[in-house]
Chains A and B, each alone.
Chain A
Amino acid sequence: MIKLKINGQEQTWEGDPTLPLLWFIRDEVGLTGTKFGCGEALCGACTVLLDKEAVRSCVTAVSDVAGREVTTIEGLHPTGDHPVQKAWRQANVPQCGFCQAGQIMQAASLLMQNPKPSHDQIREAMSGNICRCGCYQRIENAVHLASTGV
């Protein structure tokens, strides 16, 4: 049996240990904020935090995170008011919104590691997250806004 914590709550899994964490989170635990976009770590829609690090849950096996602490978009902030979430709303970032949870988790991870990124650093750090609607200008501005205070 694999044990792990998701958003502070202990979860157990007795099924296939190679099951991608994404499907464990979405289908077995029922937290659907984390999205499926590609299954190959190409788009970042499934990004969650493993401690402070952003990882792609679609290529991370449940067994890889045994005993670890996973944070999804639902657990980023108790009231949904993490500086990145607030900045996202202030900048009216989303269009369809489907990739945004992954974008926000990636941005939150970036700011934990580099609280004052330059615009170039933002563009580099966010380049693993695709937005097909093309909200990039606003994503860049929102991350900057979050880093300078909302």
Chain B
Amino acid sequence: MNIIANPNKLRGFERSIKVENVSRRDIVKGLGIAGAFVLAAPLTSRPALAAYETGAGKMPHGVVVDPRVFVSIAPDGMVTIIAHRSEMGTGVRTSLPLIVAEEMEADWSRVHVQQAPGDEAKYGNQDTDGSRSTRHYLLPMRQIGACARTMLEAAAAKRWGVPATEVKAANHEVVHNASGRKIGFGELAADAAKEPVPNIDGLKLKDPKDFRYLGKGEVSIVDLRDITTGTARYGADVRLPGMKYAVIARPPVTGGKLVSFDGSEAMKVPGVEKVMEVKGWPWPSKFQPLGGVAVIARNTGAAIKGRDALKLIWDDGANGKYDSVSYRTELEAAARKPGLVVRKEGDVDAALKGADKVVVGEYYLPHLAHVSMEPPVAVANVKGDKAEIWAPVQSPGGTHEDVAKTLGIPVENVTVNVTLLGGGFGRKSKCDFALEAALLSKELGAPVKVQWTREDDVRHDFLHTVSVERIEAGLDKNGKVIAWRHRSVAPSIASTFAAGAVHQAPFELGMGLIDMPFEIANIQCENPEAAAHTRIGWFRSVSNIPRAFAVQSMVGEIAHATNRDQKEMLLELIGSPRIVNLSSVKDPWNYGEPYSSYPIDTARLRKVVELVAEKGEWGRSVPKGHGLGIAVHRSFVSYIATIVEVAVDEKGKLTVPRVDTAIDCGTFVNPERIQSQLEGAAVMGLSLAKYGEITFKDGKVQQKNLDDFPVIRIDESPRVTNVYIVPPGPETPPSGVGEPGVPPFAPALVNAIFAATGKRIRALPIGKQLET
């Protein structure tokens, strides 16, 4: 099978790509705020423009720039702004409405944020993944705010009979300076609604020097108080009258199915009301449920106990032999032979043959589970041909469509209410748990909550892939790298969508393989085949984890082989400040962004290295047993460099006294949340480096909970993580933040371990490899 040519086919699934219109009826119905006044009348929505181009318009359902969809003003002046992306901890539910408030001159203390249901025809794309929200929506949200401001100003000018140029919105009111008259937003709302929505092309956006909120980091997340008082509502917290509680026993092997079951013992458990089969789909089937047997009870505890009492017989199917030990050997064998060439510059074979020295690194990175703190959970209430869902989904629009399709009802009859997400990390981009709830509710004729236990979560995840990355670097007599061959072999996420996908999709190849930025004359990237035997999915930063690990570990290995400083070696490999020419790559993907707006700019890459080296005091002397490591990686069109200081004691126990990270994410909204994302990325990076590994035997996941799939706890987390943000140039478009912090951490750590101990870690997790 060939590489899948159109990444949107996967990212957007089967949905079409277009900018949708909205109707007034939908707007009014959708907002439904008592006493609120929706801005203006129906018209078509417009795509974003034009100051810089992004890939937003190419996402399923594109972008909707329409104040009537996103903003409403109540007569008392309360401004309601729609958050159409999902909140899983990045702060997006605050940041996007804050952008609108900034441009429309709303006072943030008089803004209410309302979460949009899943409805992409109305709101545009809602897939909260790929570190795209600020990147794709900074400009559209500014335009929405500016439209609303312009309409309010026009209404005030009319009322006063003065030219619109003489009035100005400021802090929730419109002011006529010449006469000193002022009028509040609430009082203007009805008139403003009658104004035409201004043409985006002529919109005047605020001068950034006048920003009150953007770029300042002084606004806390809107859910902060509710989170600290236990009143914030996650998917698990939804309760409906008459709601039943369900847990499901699923096939232990991907692609397996139920042969028979006996629920008689389960029915004896107090509180258990019913045992029933759940429909499953054959593998691969995108995000459709695995099937199995559900236990329905009056509370979750009884359902779990009932499930423990089930007697189940499964047919494991074709993946029943999946074994991580032998699979690793298969991947290694594939990485040592030529594979599909996905980038070729110069003649790498000749250059390697003629090299003075060849440094070879072969790196292994296992499957990872997401283990978001909130395991998958969803509530559904299906009545006849109508369905309402409450779920912590990263894909509200996809869930909306998938529920309709799975139940065989019109999409207009489905409402998907998006709760807060107790973590997502890519797991909750797949709505299988919501589909399970919908199927059960339909059959029971009652509202149902499906709760995944942690064991379910670990055993039935859409796992991060498993990969072998092999790099051969040829050096000339002077130690200059003249040849670079990188083979990356890993089962693809495409395998979750279509049987027989054995090559990586462009969006995976584009994560650190074909976009490798080094200035080397002979480069070849290859992708040998790998078949999947379990469900593979997106995990925070995706294929960038193995690619950054391999490439940046290799930099450390070459530095050692040539007796040079890691940072100097890194800068030499990055080479001259330039825009990397990727014309030799058939589909460079580039995170779906136009290369003109988001090129690989090695000046920016160099800059984060130099910034982190300066602020992180690269080269400082450290105590015995400590070491410093550095790594840099561009992902989600942002540039991030990390320095890790590690301490390894005489027994091989490692701790991390200090982490320094520098990011260039272009124009940004909330530096305080950028900082929190990067602090968190260091912890997640340390988790995956130190412990992260899901293994299979006889087709079954061998781990079950947070004891055998441990993550970093506070007592072993980095003592301090410092974050430095590169101030954006005036024209630098925004880029990703949620994911890019993860990839450079693990290679910086293993480079530090090498500096501390002389031991080179080439396989993750580190586990007991350092123990003596």
Chain A interface residues toward B at CB < 8 A: 15-16, 18-20, 22-24, 26-28, 30-40, 42-43, 45, 72-74, 80, 85, 88-89, 92, 94-101, 104, 122-124, 126-140
- Identify the interface centre among B239, B425, B453, B715: most chain A CB within 10 Å of its CB: B715
| Chain A residues in 8 Å Cβ range of B375 | 36-37
Q: Are A32 and B420 in contact (CB under 8 A)?
A: no
17 sample A-B contacts, Cβ–Cβ < 8 Å, listed by A number: A16-B302, A22-B301, A35-B374, A40-B454, A40-B706, A73-B229, A74-B229, A92-B220, A94-B227, A97-B232, A98-B423, A128-B713, A131-B714, A132-B371, A136-B683, A137-B679, A137-B718
Q: Are A23 and B299 in contact (CB under 8 A)?
A: yes
| Chain A residues in 8 Å Cβ range of B301 | 16, 19-20, 22-24, 27
Complex Cα distance, B421 from A54, in Å, reads 25
- Shortest distance from the beta carbon of B100 to any chain A beta carbon, whole Å: 22
Q: A16-B271, A137-B721 are in contact. Are A80 and B228 (CB under 8 A)?
A: yes
| Chain B residues in 8 Å Cβ range of A98 | 234, 372-374, 420, 422-423
- Shortest distance from the beta carbon of B517 to any chain A beta carbon, whole Å: 27
Whether a CB of chain A sits under 8 angstroms from the CB of B230 is: yes
Whether a CB of chain A sits under 8 angstroms from the CB of B22 is: no
Complex Cα distance, B91 from A126, in Å, reads 24
8 shortest A-B CB distances, which residue pairs? A33-B230, A134-B683, A98-B422, A96-B89, A23-B301, A95-B89, A73-B230, A134-B680
Whether a CB of chain A sits under 8 angstroms from the CB of B224 is: yes
- Minimal Cβ-Cβ distance residue in A for B299: A27
Complex Cα distance, B15 from A33, in Å, reads 37
- Shortest distance from the beta carbon of B244 to any chain A beta carbon, whole Å: 10
Q: Are B224 and A94 in contact (CB under 8 A)?
A: yes
| Chain A residues in 8 Å Cβ range of B237 | 32
Complex Cα distance, B420 from A96, in Å, reads 8
Complex Cα distance, B372 from A53, in Å, reads 27
| Chain B residues in 8 Å Cβ range of A26 | 236, 299-300
Complex Cα distance, B227 from A33, in Å, reads 9
- Shortest distance from the beta carbon of A98 to any chain B beta carbon, whole Å: 3
Q: Are B679 and A135 in contact (CB under 8 A)?
A: yes
Complex Cα distance, B237 from A30, in Å, reads 9
| Chain A residues in 8 Å Cβ range of B652 | none
| Chain B residues in 8 Å Cβ range of A129 | 713-714
Q: Are B304 and A34 in contact (CB under 8 A)?
A: no
Q: Are B705 and A89 in contact (CB under 8 A)?
A: no
Q: Which residues between 680 and 723 of chain B lie within 8 Å of chain A, taking CB atoms?
A: 680-684, 705-707, 711-715, 717-718, 720-721
Complex Cα distance, B680 from A72, in Å, reads 27
Whether a CB of chain A sits under 8 angstroms from the CB of B163 is: no
Complex Cα distance, B713 from A123, in Å, reads 9
| Chain A residues in 8 Å Cβ range of B715 | 123-124, 126-127
Complex Cα distance, B670 from A92, in Å, reads 13
- Minimal Cβ-Cβ distance residue in B for A129: B714
List 6 additional A-B contacts (Cβ < 8 Å) besides A40-B454, A95-B91.
A32-B237, A97-B232, A98-B372, A126-B715, A132-B371, A137-B717
Chain B interface residues toward A at CB < 8 A: 87-91, 220-221, 223-225, 227-234, 236-237, 239, 245, 269-271, 298-302, 304-305, 371-375, 420-425, 451, 453-455, 672, 676-677, 679-684, 705-707, 711-715, 717-718, 720-721
Q: Are B220 and A89 in contact (CB under 8 A)?
A: yes
Q: A19-B301, A30-B239, A98-B423 are in contact. Are A89 and B228 (CB under 8 A)?
A: yes
| Chain B residues in 8 Å Cβ range of A92 | 220-221, 224, 672, 676
Q: Are B676 and A130 in contact (CB under 8 A)?
A: no
Q: Are A97 and B223 in contact (CB under 8 A)?
A: yes
- Shortest distance from the beta carbon of B376 to any chain A beta carbon, whole Å: 12
- Minimal Cβ-Cβ distance residue in A for B90: A95
Cβ-defined partner of A133 (8 Å) among B233, B423, B706: B423
Complex Cα distance, B680 from A132, in Å, reads 8
Q: Are B720 and A19 in contact (CB under 8 A)?
A: no
| Chain B residues in 8 Å Cβ range of A96 | 87-89, 372-374, 420-424
Cβ-defined partner of A94 (8 Å) among B228, B271, B451: B228
Complex Cα distance, B454 from A5, in Å, reads 29
Complex Cα distance, B681 from A78, in Å, reads 35
Cβ-defined partner of B228 (8 Å) among A16, A104, A122: A104
- Shortest distance from the beta carbon of B455 to any chain A beta carbon, whole Å: 8
- Shortest distance from the beta carbon of B771 to any chain A beta carbon, whole Å: 21
| Chain A residues in 8 Å Cβ range of B298 | 15, 27
- Shortest distance from the beta carbon of B368 to any chain A beta carbon, whole Å: 12
Q: Are B714 and A123 in contact (CB under 8 A)?
A: yes
Q: Are B705 and A101 in contact (CB under 8 A)?
A: no
Q: Are B221 and A94 in contact (CB under 8 A)?
A: yes
- Identify the interface centre among B87, B270, B423: most chain A CB within 10 Å of its CB: B423
| Chain A residues in 8 Å Cβ range of B228 | 80, 85, 88-89, 94, 100, 104
Q: Are A27 and B245 in contact (CB under 8 A)?
A: yes
Q: Are A33 and B451 in contact (CB under 8 A)?
A: no
| Chain B residues in 8 Å Cβ range of A88 | 228
Complex Cα distance, B715 from A137, in Å, reads 10
Cβ-defined partner of A43 (8 Å) among B221, B373, B717, B718: B373
Complex Cα distance, B223 from A40, in Å, reads 28
| Chain B residues in 8 Å Cβ range of A43 | 373, 454, 706
